[in-house]
Chain A
């Protein structure tokens, strides 16, 4: 499997911000959920910045859905920023936006 995926995360109060870089596939999805699970008890909001991720597959999406379900149970919310139009359309078709939102910027969620 490819490991061409990196993630940088920051905590701002009750918000976890994750900036991804690369293909959101099995490896990418796993890394996102792993990072999320480290902070699950201390956060209410998660922002995933996809400025450097232009491709996602359905395995990656299944991890995102799993994360959304966990967040929803904890009354949390997932936001996406810097969505590539193709990824945005993909998320729309896969029903991600029924439970998560697109945000204009990271700051708009933090403030």
Chain B
């Protein structure tokens, strides 16, 4: 073929070369581009076989890219081992042409072309066409690689935006969740998603006994052991409220299999773990705050109940002087005192202390107060009164609640006292001659037991100049900052030294003396007292 004929024939082919190039650059994958190139070769050369091979580097093994015939190992011997473009033409061999085309990503394309169907052999035109097609493939492959790089760059950029966005969203969503299990599930889903982890796990352990309190995995059905035994894992943990929260991510996914996590993945895991920690801490603090608010409300209610029960004014008893005082502690307690006029010159002096504090104690005092007013109308002996009150309080209070109770029914005409002490601090009777009697006869606290044991009463007479002092344990047990009690001894000594004061003055003096002892320490219990003097 003459030169000008060759040029003319090639120029006629130019359009098909261009079309071939455009087909190749539209390919989305390596498989597609090699398949399209295979068809381009098939359309250009009428040969028996076309085999396309590929190897990722010079040292790698050839891998089949596209062929419609079976490949034999011996076929590969036709492919040059050199790192440069090699085109070889053969005569009387199994194949007519072998090509090794170095590509821009250091990989190689191997081409084996069989015999021409018309057995004519490769002409000059065929050889030039092959050269052009190799150039077309090389350019299209470059374009394909660039497009893949561009796509990957855009994908990676979007992924970073997604990670940042997820991190922010997760922080907001976690802070809104109250149930911890939902919180952990969300945290695991998010951290697995943004790090491409195959699975994720949270183990919550008790810090002291190291026992597992809970474990949650993502996906839900995966075994904990599988995650923990993975060689490709990262961890982050924190401690809060005597518990250890351990986060584990296992096997970072890629399209080619599992790989190690990056430093960025570790930072993302730590960030999510920190968000979970903040959420748990906030929930804990919120609960504490709500509990504090609830207690304060209860205390306020308890205080108002107790305020209504404690008498504002005590009755005036002819021939006697009487004063009482109740100073509630910060936590409202269950102290109660009263002096109830029951008619015919008789008065019931009451001193009681309910176990515990708060609303339940205040309600029990209220029950006692109502029951007292009701039973006292029947003019019962104090022992019988105590028995009835004991049954009532036993039935209407929980097992850990009881009332220590002291009552003395005074016949103001005779000065006679009918006394019963149900587990309370002994009443103190200070005679005019200075002798002191501790009144302890009675029985167990009200509501403690209901075995039907009778209460023992005691009858005494209050003569002119005698004094009766009733109190709750808030006086002798008042403690200073060194945890030293005011003590029974000091209280009795104070009584002896100051009993000549009028009752109001005596009570305010002893309260002052107790406060002086307590000093800067907090008042831990109610201070309640009643002082009766026969004049």
Chain A interface (Cβ < 8 Å from any Cβ of B): 1-2, 4, 22-23, 25-26, 54-59, 62, 65-66, 69-70, 73, 86, 89-90, 93-95
**Which of A2, A56, A73 contacts B198 (CB under 8 A)?**
A2
- Whether B189 sits at the interface, judged by CB under 8 Å, is yes
- Which residues from A are CB-within-8-Å of B169? 86, 89
**Which of B158, B218, B255 contacts A93 (CB under 8 A)?**
B158
Instruction: Let me know if A1 and B251 touch, CB within 8 A.
Output: yes
User: Which of A54, A56, A58, A95 has its CB near the most chain B CB atoms (within 10 A)?
Assistant: A58
Cβ distance A7 to chain B, nearest Cβ, rounded Å = 15
- Whether B13 sits at the interface, judged by CB under 8 Å, is no
- Which residues from A are CB-within-8-Å of B7? none
Query: 11 A–B contact pairs at CB < 8 A?
Result: A25-B253, A55-B189, A57-B192, A57-B196, A59-B196, A59-B254, A73-B26, A73-B28, A93-B162, A94-B155, A94-B159
Instruction: Let me know if B219 and A58 touch, CB within 8 A.
Output: no
Q: What is the bound-complex CA distance between A85 and B28, given in angstroms?
A: 30
Instruction: Let me know if B189 and A54 touch, CB within 8 A.
Output: yes
Cβ distance A48 to chain B, nearest Cβ, rounded Å = 17
Q: What is the bound-complex CA distance between A25 and B199, given in angstroms?
A: 10
Knowing A56-B193, A70-B28, A94-B155 touch, does A25 contact B198 (C-beta < 8 A)?
A: yes
Q: What is the bound-complex CA distance between A57 and B196, given in angstroms?
A: 6
Instruction: Let me know if B255 and A26 touch, CB within 8 A.
Output: yes
- Which residues from B are CB-within-8-Å of A70? 28
- Whether B521 sits at the interface, judged by CB under 8 Å, is no
- Which residues from B are CB-within-8-Å of A65? 155
Chain B interface, number of residues (Cβ within 8 angstroms): 30
- Which residues from B are CB-within-8-Å of A4? 219-222
Q: What is the bound-complex CA distance between A103 and B338, given in angstroms?
A: 78
Cβ distance A73 to chain B, nearest Cβ, rounded Å = 7
Q: What is the bound-complex CA distance between A70 and B32, given in angstroms?
A: 11
Cβ distance B282 to chain A, nearest Cβ, rounded Å = 22
Instruction: Let me know if A26 and B158 touch, CB within 8 A.
Output: no
Knowing A1-B253, A25-B198 touch, does A58 contact B159 (C-beta < 8 A)?
A: yes
Interface of B is mostly: mixed
Closest 4 CB pairs of A and B: A4-B219, A26-B253, A57-B196, A93-B162
- Which residues from B are CB-within-8-Å of A69? 28
- Which residues from B are CB-within-8-Å of A73? 26, 28
Instruction: Let me know if B155 and A1 touch, CB within 8 A.
Output: no
Nearest to A63 among chain B residues (CB) is B255
Instruction: Let me know if B255 and A62 touch, CB within 8 A.
Output: yes
Knowing A55-B189, A56-B193, A58-B159 touch, does A26 contact B254 (C-beta < 8 A)?
A: yes
Q: What is the bound-complex CA distance between A16 and B220, given in angstroms?
A: 29
Instruction: Let me know if B162 and A55 touch, CB within 8 A.
Output: no
Instruction: Let me know if A1 and B219 touch, CB within 8 A.
Output: no
Nearest to B151 among chain A residues (CB) is A65
Instruction: Let me know if B196 and A58 touch, CB within 8 A.
Output: yes
- Which residues from A are CB-within-8-Å of B254? 26, 59
Inter-chain pairs besides A1-B253, A23-B218, A57-B253, 4 sampled, C-beta below 8 Å: A2-B219, A56-B193, A57-B197, A90-B162
**Which of B154, B165, B192, B258 contacts A95 (CB under 8 A)?**
B154
- Which residues from A are CB-within-8-Å of B198? 1-2, 25-26
Q: What is the bound-complex CA distance between A66 and B255, given in angstroms?
A: 12
Instruction: Let me know if A58 and B165 touch, CB within 8 A.
Output: no
Q: What is the bound-complex CA distance between A58 and B166, given in angstroms?
A: 12
Instruction: Let me know if A59 and B253 touch, CB within 8 A.
Output: yes
Knowing A73-B26, A73-B28 touch, does A58 contact B161 (C-beta < 8 A)?
A: no
Q: What is the bound-complex CA distance between A69 and B169, given in angstroms?
A: 30
Instruction: Let me know if A59 and B255 touch, CB within 8 A.
Output: yes
- Which residues from A are CB-within-8-Å of B159? 58, 94
Cβ distance B29 to chain A, nearest Cβ, rounded Å = 8
- Which residues from A are CB-within-8-Å of B29? 66
Nearest to B219 among chain A residues (CB) is A4
Cβ distance B516 to chain A, nearest Cβ, rounded Å = 66
Instruction: Let me know if B222 and A58 touch, CB within 8 A.
Output: no
Instruction: Let me know if B158 and A95 touch, CB within 8 A.
Output: yes
- Which residues from A are CB-within-8-Å of B165? 89, 93
- Which residues from B are CB-within-8-Å of A66? 28-29
Q: What is the bound-complex CA distance between A4 and B258, given in angstroms?
A: 16
Cβ distance A103 to chain B, nearest Cβ, rounded Å = 23
Cβ distance A32 to chain B, nearest Cβ, rounded Å = 13
Nearest to A24 among chain B residues (CB) is B193
